[in-house]
Structure 1
Amino acid sequence: MKIRTRLTLLFTLITAMLLGVYSFSIYYSSKEAREKSFYSELQNEAIAKADLFFRSSLPEQEMHKLYKNNTRTLNEVQVAIYDVNKQLVYHDDAKVDYVKETPEMLSEIFRKKRINFFLNDLQVIGMVYHYEGKTYAVTAAAYDQYGYEYLTHLLTISIISFFSILILIYLAGIFLSKKALSPLSEMVKQIKKITAGKLQLRLKTTKEKDELNELAQNFNGMLERLENSFDSQKHFVSNISHELRTPLAAIITELELASEKDKTQAEYQETIQYALEDARNMVKLSNSLMDLAKASYDPNEISFSEVRLDEVLLESYTKIIKENSAYKVSLNIADTVEEYQLIIQGNEYLLQVAFNNLIDNACKYSPEHMCSIDVKSSSKILIISFANKGSMIHKEDLEHIFKPFYRSETPRQEKGHGIGLFLTEKIILLHHANIKVLSDHNETIFTVEFMIS
């Protein structure tokens, strides 16, 4: 069921309930008012008849005649008068007695002074009447024809009005919901036009500050992020393809040359070494891409635990020296650094990947293949710096150094894929830390700052 239909039905149902309660209240209050009003009329009629009987000289036969004449035009009130001995003194029509006054009823009238009750469709009132020191019981009964006709008419009008208003409310609800949700229908039409190849399309927005306009703005923001993500992926895949194609092409070329003619054992060994080196480069690239994928996970899916940064640095130090015997690494931890300052919540594997990249990068681009690691603390910040002596990084390169697959033109002779620093920055930011680089006076320093809890 569409929202428009659901809202219309819900609105109609609520209106029906409110209208039903209102109509019932009007009918019930009118019914109560009619009943009380007619009891009051019966009382007045009873008093008038008693006064006419006791105080006027009109004989009883004339009163009977007057009663019968009145019944031709309306339902006359039938009045009966009894004395204290419960003997009938006067009755409008003894042959047609609406109320069968029993001794118990008369006793109740004398005791309570006034009683009201229904006798089938008739309303009956019994009251005490005093005349010349004597007490009488007077009863009056009648059918409120006009009152019941009024209630029937009111009920008919209420039912007709109830269903008529419901129909009008339903039609008005359809119209209003359609008008109110027309911007949403327009959004749906625009969204259907947006595909993977048309992410540049955007929903139309207005200056209104309503929820639909806010939804459109947020949706456009999501499209903007998706478009940037798709562009990044396209660029990423393009660069990976290029990086993989280069060593693969080299391996194929070397093997084709080796298979075309006979070579000496030394030449074959040389070809194998070249191919093996290219294969190792592909493995490094593959490992870097796997590490990049792990660093790109949702932070909620990465396990964090207490990690000692000095131990991670030592593991990275040992790993780099073991893999590259020509590299020289020194680790200096300031005496002012407390043990608790070296403990953070982090992922040990990812931190080791980041530190490995920084150490390897420093040694690779240093003429002496040397990296100096210094650890010190300042206020609530733990500072780890990775420094190397050698050629500086150009200012224009510093602005792009953390971008994926970016490599400076200066050190092209050094092998690499442009992933390491990009991956390192992602890992550092994942640990709510900062990384920055400074290259000046033939020295390049990468600084990582961790917040101390």
Structure 2
Amino acid sequence: MKIKDRLALYFTLVSTVTLLGVLVVVYFTFLKLMESEFFERLNDRTMVTAKLYLEADEISSEALNKVRTQYLERLNGEVIRIYNEVNSATFIGDDQQFWTSETINLVRKKGKIRFKDGERQVVGIFYKDNQGDFVILASAIDEGTNRRINKLLTIMVIVFVVIFLGLLLSGRWIAKRILSPLDIFINQVKEIKSSNLDFRVDEGRNKDEISLLAQNFNKLMEHLEHSFILQKTFVANASHELRTPVTRMIISGEISLSREREKEAYQKALKSMLEDAEKLDNIITALVNLAQADLEYGSSQTENIRIDELIWQLQSEWNQKKGQNQLTVEMKNLPEEESALIIAANPTLLQIALDNIIGNAFKFSDDRQVKCILEIKEKEIILLISDLGPGITEAHQEEIFKPFFSSSAKSEHAGNGMGLYMAHKIVHLYHGTIHVSSSAPTGTTFILRFPSF
């Protein structure tokens, strides 16, 4: 059974049980009230009878009966008896005993009684008179009350059924309205596939449990998306980042083995291969930790890095690959204090981020010159990387940092769409920001800002 149906059912059950309790209380209260009223009428009957028959001595019994019949409305099944000291019926023309001596003596003992005898209601009083001690008993059947009670019961049953149905329908409507955000949430969740893990459900404006569920679900989806992307990132970057040192090691080994060489040449080749192996080990460690820790590894494995030294190192490596002066570097406002040049980061990850940006710049500018400008401002390090490529359209500038996005127009520019995404993640990991400034077709500039010590 759906939650909305259960809520409607529980709401209806609680409401109808409460209503049933109220109706039962009203029914029995009305019943007892009517019984009490009828007892009072019978009590008045006994008092009137006492006044007529016992106090009006000069009037004959026949005249009294006539007055009683004429002026007192006879109740349904009415029986009135006056019993003398020996418990015999007297005064009234009907001298049948009707009540037993036990009942008559009980009236004498208690002075006044009232009780129900089947459908009959009975009232008895003990009355002292100058003619003696008498017991007056009156009884009748309250048919008027029975009719009213039956009508009331019928009305209550009809009202109960109508209200029950009304509560059931209104309860289901209320439950459906309250849980409508949950239906929206379920339908949106059904749309999520492995191909659109960036999809987020609507969290709504109400600060209720469903909104909280949607918020937590979106957080879960964000973690899943990152984990899924990082798995693909690892594969893509492993092939991208590992290829260069492995190639250099292979080339160094092949050159060294191509002919006999002196001892110093072999030592130099082995030293170069060892450096590449160490670099390869650092890259593998960084990539594995990046994939396993959702980029949180880098924040716990930080070092104090001089950004200017890292830039010079990058210039040397890229100029070896692309040719002399292909990556130019300009330093502005270099401070005297070394602390102004320090960034707390994982050196391998930060180099991967900058390599990805510089590599993109060379790729999209068809290996034309790339310019890197380092500017130091108060408590801020600004790094600008500019190329001479075709630029990035305004529509694409918000998309380039998303995973697997590629805006390449040429087949030779095609990539896996992970480089800038990974660079963006790493820069933000170390409390930096990255923005792009481009006006096609005059080139693109990536602006990186880091807080300094």
**TM-score of the pair, normalised by structure 1:** 0.58
| Residues 111-130 of structure 1 aligned to structure 2 (within 5 Å) | 111-130=109-128
Q: How does 1:312-351 map to 2 (within 5 A)?
A: none
Mapped contact 2:107–2:125 kept (Cα < 8 A): yes
Give me the whole-angstrom Cα distance separating, in 2, the residues matched to 1:151 and 1:186: 51
Q: Could you tell me how far apart the structure 1 residues matched to 2:141 and 2:351 are? A: 98
Partner AA of 1:168 in structure 2: G
Structure 2 equivalent of residue 319 of structure 1 = none
Task: Report the 3-state secondary structure (helix = DSSP H, G, I; strand = E; otherwise coil) of the residue aligned with 1:6.
Answer: helix
Range with greater deviation from structure 2 (167-176 or 3-12): 167-176
Give the number of equivalent residue pairs: 343
* Superposed CA RMSD: 5.2
Superposed, which structure 2 residues align to 1:221-370 within 5 Å? Answer: 222=219, 225=222, 229=226, 233=230, 238-255=236-253, 261=258, 263-264=260-261, 266=263, 271-289=269-287, 353-354=301-302, 357-358=303-304
Q: Deviations over 1:157-191 (max 9, x none)?
A: 32333233212211222233223433432332223
Matches within 5 A, 1:379-390: none
In the aligned structure 1, how far is the partner of 2:10 from the partner of 2:262?
88
Q: Secondary structure at the match of 2:76?
A: coil
SS for the counterpart of 1:88 is coil
Q: Does 1:406 align with 2:406?
A: no
User: What runs of 5+ residues in structure 1 fail to find an aligned partner?
Assistant: 300-349, 368-386, 412-418, 429-435, 439-446, 448-453
CA deviations 1:211-266 (Å, max 9, x no partner) are 3895598469648955984797366764444222222233344455667x554475
Q: Separation in 2 of the partners of 1:61 and 1:81?
A: 14
* Structure 1 residue 147 corresponds to structure 2 residue 145: yes
Q: Give yes or no for contact 2:226–2:294 (8 Å, CA) kept in 1.
A: no
Partner of 1:59: 62
Q: Determine helix, strand or coil for the equivalent of 1:79.
A: strand
1:308 maps to what in 2? none
> Relative to structure 1, is the Cα distance of residues 195 and 219 closer, same or farther in structure 2, using a 3 angstrom cutoff?
farther
- Which stretch of the first structure deviates more once superposed, 268-277 or 225-234? 225-234
AA of the residue aligned to 2:100: K
Aligned residue in 1 for 2:2: 2
Cα–Cα, structure 1 residues 273 and 402, in superposed 2: closer, same or farther, change >3 Å?
A: closer
**1:334 corresponds to which residue?**
none
Structure 2 spans left out of the alignment, 5+ residues? 314-334, 359-371, 374-421, 432-449
Matches of 1:404 and 1:6, distance apart in 2: 58
Cα drift, residue 37 of structure 1:
0.8
Offset of residue 278 of structure 1: 2.2
- Does the Cα contact within 8 Å between 2:192 and 2:199 map onto a contact in 1? yes
Change (3 A) 1:228 1:405: farther
Q: Quick one: which amino acid aligns to residue 60 of structure 2?
A: S
For 1:77, the equivalent position in structure 2 comes to 78
Q: Which amino acid in structure 1 is aligned with residue 354 of structure 2?
A: R
CA distance in 2, matches of 1:48, 1:403: 112
Q: How far did 1:14 drift? A: 1.4
Alignment partners' CA distance in 2, 1:244 and 1:293: 15
Distance 1:95 1:263 in 2: 151
> 1:176 matched to which residue of 2?
174
- Between the aligned partners of 1:169 and 1:427, the Cα distance in structure 2 is 59
The CA deviation at 1:78 is 0.8
| Distance of 1:121 and 1:195 partners within structure 2 | 76
TM superposition shift of 1:205 = 7.1
Any conservation in 1 of the 2:61–2:91 contact (CA below 8 Å)?
no
Equivalent position of 2:38 in the other structure? 38
In percent, how many aligned pairs have the same letter? 23
Structure 1 pair 159–82 and aligned structure 2 pair: CA distance change class (3 A): same
Distance (whole Å) between structure 2 residues aligned to residue 205 and residue 365 of structure 1: 44
Aligned to 1:358, the other structure's residue is in SS state strand
Q: Would you say the 8 A contact 1:291–1:423 is kept in 2? A: no
Give the match for residue 436 of structure 2: none
> For 1:195, what is the secondary structure of its paired residue?
coil
Deviation at 1:89, TM superposition (A): 2.0
Q: Is the 1:203–1:216 contact (alpha carbons within 8 Å) kept by the matching residues of 2? A: no
Counterpart of 1:25, as a letter, is V
Letter in 1 for 2:127: Y
Residue 359 of structure 1: how far off its partner (Å): 7.4
Question: How far apart, in 2, do the equivalents of 1:189 and 1:227 lie?
Answer: 19
Matches of 1:148 and 1:285, distance apart in 2: 96
TM-score by length of 2: 0.58
